[in-house]
Structure 1
Amino acid sequence: MTSGQPLPRAAEPTLTIAQVVERTGLSHDTLRYYEKAGLIERVGRTTGNQRRYAAADLAWLEFLIRLRGTGMSIGDMQTFAELRSRGDGSVPDRLAMLREHRADLADRMRALRRNAAALDDKIRHYERLLDEPGSDDLS
């Protein structure tokens, strides 16, 4: 028979900085920098003052990695992190930031496709030149 009180939850498993480095590919220095730069909130610490990352920290880090991988500047990431720390009231601003970033990413992807096509054309040109005996024009 229960008293209607929820059962105590087991402590959420946490990760050491070494485990986060292994899972994310970020370096120890980058993780510390992200914390100092305000990109991640101060993570929990053990009694021995060792960082312990929760699942939510890891999920946020993975999103930051995606933002960085899509070319978002550290400054914009800091702005986004600051907005996030304000809670649900900042959702419209965060959405606007992500939409703008996504539009910029789409523009860069189009430019990359054009550049890749130009490289493909030049590669085919050189392949044809190499296939033609006596060709001197390798420009």
Structure 2
Amino acid sequence: MLIAEVSEKFNISQNTLRYYERIGLIPRVNRNKSGIRDYTEENCRWVEFIKCMRGAGLPIEALIEYVELFQQGDETLETRKEILIEQSQQLAARIEEMKKTLERLDSKIARYEQAVVKKEKTLTRQKD
């Protein structure tokens, strides 16, 4: 699959894909006889994984370390698992913080809605 196709499929710019490859987030992508990147299904699975993890806010540094360890093979299974556990815990903490922020926003919105209704009632009474 060409880089343009991968870019469109995952809604990621071609520059981002090249950057991810350059910094090691995506294992090296083979090139065809013309020197153009030729993404395999495995490459695409990496793109999908990285996009998902970045979308959730996982840091690039942790993902680079994870990919490097993955490429070293099964002797790094425990370390990779530890990275994922740590990132999962950090993500869960961020989710809890976001839930609290959402509750606060919802509370403020409810107060504004009450204020708007109260103002409308006051205006209606003044017209009568």
Residue 52 of structure 1 aligns to a residue whose secondary structure is coil
Q: What TM-score comes out, normalization by structure 1 length?
A: 0.83
Residue 132 of structure 1 aligns to a residue whose secondary structure is helix
What does residue 23 of structure 2 align with?
A: 37
5 Å matches for 1:45-84? Answer: 45-84=31-70
Q: Stretches of 4+ moved more than 2 A in 1?
A: none
- Please report how far the alpha carbon of residue 30 of structure 1 lies from its aligned counterpart in structure 2 after TM superposition: 0.5
- Please report how far the alpha carbon of residue 90 of structure 1 lies from its aligned counterpart in structure 2 after TM superposition: 0.7
Higher share in strand: 1
- Please report how far the alpha carbon of residue 41 of structure 1 lies from its aligned counterpart in structure 2 after TM superposition: 2.0
Distance 2:27 2:101 in 1: 39
What does residue 5 of structure 2 align with?
A: 19
RMSD: 1.2
- Please report how far the alpha carbon of residue 35 of structure 1 lies from its aligned counterpart in structure 2 after TM superposition: 1.0
Residue 51 of structure 1 aligns to a residue whose secondary structure is coil
Identity of aligned residues (%): 35
Q: What TM-score comes out, normalization by structure 2 length?
A: 0.90
Distance 1:114 1:41 in 2: 38
